[in-house]
Structure 1
Amino acid sequence: MEEMSGESVVSSAVPAAATRTTSFKGTSPSSKYVKLNVGGALYYTTMQTLTKQDTMLKAMFSGRMEVLTDSEGWILIDRCGKHFGTILNYLRDGAVPLPESRREIEELLAEAKYYLVQGLVEECQAALQPAVKLLYNRSNNKYSYTSNSDDNMLKNIELFDKLSLRFNGR
Structure 2
Amino acid sequence: MSDAPSCLLATSVKVPSSHGRYVRLNVGGHLFYTTLDTLTKHEGSMLKAMFSGRMEVLMDSEGWVLIDRCGKHFATVLNYLRDNTTPLPSSERDLEEVLAEAKFYLLDDFAKVIQRKLLVLRDPYPPLTYVPVLTAPGQLQKILDLTRKPLIRLMYNRGNNKYSYTSNSDENLLRNMELFDRLSVKFATRITFVKDIAGTEICCWSFYGLCKKVAEICCESIVYATEKKQTKIEYPEAKIFEEALNVLLYEDRSPDGDRAAALYAANAQSLATIATVPPTVKTTARRFPDDDDNMLY
TM exceeding 0.5: yes
1:5-24 correspondence to structure 2 within 5 Å: 14-16=2-4, 17=6, 18-24=9-15
Q: Distance in 2 between matches of 1:27 and 1:14?
A: 25
Q: CA deviation at 1:26?
A: 2.8
> 4+ runs of 1 displaced by more than 2 Å?
130-135
Cα pair distance change 1:69/1:98, threshold 3 Å: same
Report Cα offsets for 1:14-36 as digits up to 9, x if no partner: 412021111112315xx110000
* Corresponding residue of 1:7: none
Q: Distance in 2 between matches of 1:96 and 1:14?
A: 29
Percent identity between the aligned chains? 51
1:134–1:120 CA distance, 2 compared to 1 (3 A): closer
In the alignment, what sits opposite 2:187? none
Partner deviation per Cα, 1:59-101 (whole Å, 9 max, x = no partner): 0011110100111010000000001110000000000111000
Q: TM-score, normalised by structure 1?
A: 0.70
1:105 aligns with one of 78, 92, 95 = 95
Aligned with 2:175 (options 124, 127, 145): 145
- Tell me the SS of whatever aligns to 2:99: helix
Task: Give the alignment of 1:124-163 within 5 angstroms.
Answer: 124-130=114-120, 131=123, 132-133=125-126, 145-146=175-176, 151=233
Structure 1 pair 14/101, CA: closer, same or farther in 2 (3 Å)?
farther
Q: Distance in 2 between matches of 1:107 and 1:115?
A: 13
Match of residue 38, structure 2, among 49, 53, 60: 49
After superposition, the C-alpha distances for 1:110-159 in whole angstroms (9 at most, x for unaligned) are 00000011121010111111535469xxxxxx9861487x848xxxxxxx
What amino acid sits opposite 1:46 in the alignment? T
Distance change in 2, residues 1:22/1:102 (3 Å): same
Question: What amino acid maps onto 2:42 in structure 1?
Answer: Q
Quote the residue 2:73 is aligned against: 83
Residues in 2 aligned to 1:78 and 1:119: alpha-carbon distance in whole angstroms: 23
TM-score, normalised on structure 2?
0.41
Partner amino acid for 2:17? Answer: G
Unpaired runs of 5+ residues, structure 2, are 129-170, 177-202, 204-218, 220-231, 235-297
User: In the alignment, residue 35 of structure 2 is paired with which amino acid?
Assistant: T
Q: Is the alpha carbon distance of 1:134 and 1:125 closer, same or farther for their aligned partners in structure 2, counting shifts above 3 Å?
A: closer
- Partner letter of residue 98 of structure 1? L
Tell which deviates more after alignment, 110-119 or 13-22: 13-22
Number of aligned positions between the proteins = 133
Unaligned stretches of 5+ in structure 1? Answer: 1-12, 136-141, 153-170
Give the alignment partner of residue 38 of structure 1, picking from 7, 10, 27.
27
Structure 2 counterpart of 1:25, which letter? Answer: P
